[in-house]
Structure 1
Amino acid sequence: MYQRKLPKEHYCTVDYALDIFGGKWEPRLLCILGHNSNVRYGELKRSMENISDAALADALKELQESGIVTRHQYDEMPVRAEYSLTEKG
């Protein structure tokens, strides 16, 4: 994943919002998660037609690091994980 060499400066709230939601897939993910309370990875993949597994995983990881999405993993085999919006999201 790309790492910035210099810290990102946010001059206003629009800069901050575009930094979080400005990607290609993040707005779609937020719409899907906003309409459904808990969504599994496979359901997200089926809902978003042309996304690769790597792009979906990266977008979910970025939203998790921003505190917008939470991941709940169950102790089952095979592993089951559900994604949902946080209060901030």
Structure 2
Amino acid sequence: MPIGLSNIGWKMYIVNGSWDIIVVALIAVFWVETKGKTLEEIDAIFEGQKHSNVPDVELVRRGKAQIDVGQVEQELHTVVQTMKLE
């Protein structure tokens, strides 16, 4: 910025503002929306596949998928016991 200001003066502000507008337009077009998504859903968006067997929250909310709470509690208990042994 200092070099541009010394070479072309106040016109550097126009160059900088134009670049900012281009960047905002690119972000508006190409930015991937991740608001309201779980980590598993974000993983599927960026990696192309889901790396866990956890059902999507939206499917559970709509009643199209079920979560076995007993199995989840058993897995958590096993993980906690393993961590205590280490």
Q: TM-score range by the shorter chain?
A: under 0.3
Greater relative CO (CA pairs within 8 A, separation 6+)? 1
Structure number with greater Rg is 2
Q: Could you tell me the TM-score, scaled by structure 1's length?
A: 0.24
The structure with the largest strand share of the pair is 1
Q: Could you tell me the TM-score, scaled by structure 2's length?
A: 0.25
